[in-house]
Amino acid sequence: MIIIENVIPAFIITLFAGLSTGIGSALALFARRTNTKFLSISLGFSAGVMVYVSFVELFNGALETLIKVHGSKTGQILAVLSFFTGILIIAIIDNMVPEHENPHQVRKERELINIKKENVNNDFSLKKMGLLSAVAISIHNFPEGIATFASSLSDLTVGVSIAVAIAIHNIPEGVSVSVPIYYATGNKKKAFIYSFMSGLSEPLGALIGYAFFKIFLSDTVLGIIFGLVAGIMVFISIDELLPASRRYGQGHQEIYSFIAGMAVMAISLLLL
């Protein structure tokens, strides 16, 4: 159920998740080199958290709520349909962005980490890449903001878990915006601001989601939202986090960290 007292904490949690693109920007601009092993483990861990929460908490919540209102058969059908609709929505958004401009293409992110400033001199194409990445990230982050906010309204523990997972996943996105803009303009401040602002669409999604919830909130809508959020989170984990973790890491780091993420999430849900 939606807990009204959670509105402000839920918004703060969503704001934190969105603005973590600034962390990636800061790491890229001020660190001498990126620890790709740590990044691999973090991304795999985030995927484990998201997948576990999606199936154990969110999809279960959708089932329970919709079955309570519509009965067993119809409730299950609505929950399953909402889950795959969430996947379809985020897949459509993902495909709106051309592959060569998509910030979730890990190959490009890794190349950006190794760009040498001396080889670039006010390169317009690099600046364009960074700006387009910022727009693409804003589009991607909007439904993530709604997902984080909706989960936090129901259960702050689940919301925080999802927010941390999304925050880790947003760090490479900050790299994909700030690095090309910096090496095209030589301006670290401008690169950081663009990267930081690209995450603002997540709290914007939260605000729009809250306006929607206030007007149309019902048990049926709540159950469908939980199903949608579960689908979105699973798609992000499989399409973005796990491939990124594999590319940045070595051996079976992504699998071990993925399982660790699920285990930590399971234990935290049992204890809290």
Which of 4-18, 57-71, 194-208 is the most confident on average? 57-71
The domain total for the chain is 1
d(CA 75, CA 77): 5
| Residue range 4-21, pLDDT digits in tens | 677 888 889 988 888 888
Determine the pLDDT at residue 3.
57
Mean pLDDT value across the chain: 78
- Residue 5, annotated ligand binder? no
CA-CA-CA-CA torsion sign (44, 47, 49, 52): negative
Q: How confident is the model at residue 33 (pLDDT cuts 50, 70, 90)?
A: low
CB 172 within 8 A of CB 111: no
| 76 band by pLDDT with thresholds 50, 70 and 90 | very high
3-state SS assignment for residue 103: coil
Q: Is the pLDDT of residue 133 over 70?
A: no
169 among the known binding-site residues? yes
Largest Cα–Cα separation, the chain = 65
The structure tokens 């285990």 sit at: 263
Question: Does 101 score more than 80 pLDDT?
Answer: no
CA distance 178 to 194: 7
> Which has the minimum average pLDDT: 57-61, 109-113, 147-151, 196-200?
109-113
pTM higher than 0.75 for the full model? no
- Per the structure, the complete domain to which residue 49 belongs is given by 4-271
Q: Are 128 and 159 in contact (CB under 8 A)?
A: no
**144: annotated binding-site residue?**
yes
List the structure tokens of 221: 């809508």
How far is the C-alpha of 24 from the C-alpha of 231, rounded, in Å?
26
117 three-class SS: helix
pLDDT of residue 69: 93
141 is in an annotated binding site: yes
